[in-house]
């Protein structure tokens, strides 16, 4: 069964303390892996698409990487404004190209 | 400004009532989606539409209905048959990315509460 698991469920960091969020997946063929940021009470905001193992993408303090079984979202020197829930989603590459979302990691960055 | 709008932002429903959530996009995307988000769970797909006048059930379609009469609009009706409708509802639209993956872009959401 296709599945996306994110860990940890919640992460508390001090400002400037770098860390990584994990997204592990099992899917029948990978069409793409997506990262989103979601602030409380708002819709998810698109961050990155990764297509194949070894690919990396960066945006400000965020860097996403992809292997054959998981993706990491690295946060370098986070600031309080990086506090949000980060969602990972995987689009399968066979059948109906369904997109499956993980439950998210809630990130809290304290000043 | 291109984007997706959802209305209302907050909606209260009495038991036994049907309510309709609005979703409009001006991104010229062919595909549109409705998701339900509950605390601690991933987004769950209710319905999706890949083209005007066509739509398919997602994983949790029972108690919901949709229409797609225009490319820009994909309203969701929550019927009285939906037993636990209190949730945050998200509408999305998508286009194929450069390498073929369908990146979805989301509206701001509607929070539905059953009184």
SS (H, E, C) chain B: CCCEEEECCEEEECCCCCEEEEEEECCCCCEEEEEEECCCCCCEEEEEEEECCEEEECCCCCCEEECCCECCECCEEECCCCCCCCEEEEEEEEEECCCCCEEEEECCCEEEEEC
Inter-chain residue contact A31 with B90, CB threshold 8 Å:
no
pLDDT tens track of chain B, all 115 residues? 679 999 999 999 888 899 999 999 999 999 999 999 998 888 999 999 989 999 999 999 999 999 999 999 999 999 988 889 999 999 999 977 656 778 899 999 999 999 8
Are B103 and A34 a contacting pair at CB < 8 A? yes
A44 has a chain B CB within 8 A of its CB = yes
A46 touching B (Cβ < 8 Å): yes
């Amino acid at each position: 069964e296709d599945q996306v698991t994110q860990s940890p469920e919640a992460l508390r960091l001090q400002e400037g303390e770098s860390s990584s969020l994990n997204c592990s997946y099992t899917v029948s063929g990978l069409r793409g892996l997506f990262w989103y940021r979601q602030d409380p009470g708002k819709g998810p905001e698109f961050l990155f698409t990764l297509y194949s193992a070894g690919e990396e993408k960066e945006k400000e303090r965020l860097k996403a990487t992809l292997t054959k079984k998981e993706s990491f979202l690295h946060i370098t020197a986070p600031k309080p404004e990086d506090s949000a829930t980060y969602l990972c989603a995987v689009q399968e590459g066979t059948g109906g190209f369904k997109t499956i979302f993980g439950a998210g990691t809630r990130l809290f960055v304290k000043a | 400004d291109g984007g997706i709008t959802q209305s209302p932002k907050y909606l209260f429903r009495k038991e036994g009532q049907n309510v309709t959530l609005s979703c409009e996009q001006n991104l010229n995307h062919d595909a549109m989606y409705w998701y339900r988000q509950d605390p601690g769970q991933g987004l769950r797909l209710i319905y999706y539409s890949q083209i005007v006048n066509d739509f398919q059930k997602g994983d949790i379609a029972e108690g919901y209905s949709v229409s797609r009469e225009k490319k820009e609009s994909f309203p969701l009706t929550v019927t009285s048959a939906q037993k636990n409708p209190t949730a945050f509802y998200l509408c999305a639209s998508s286009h194929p990315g450069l390498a073929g993956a369908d990146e979805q872009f989301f509206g701001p959401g509607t929070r539905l509460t059953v009184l």
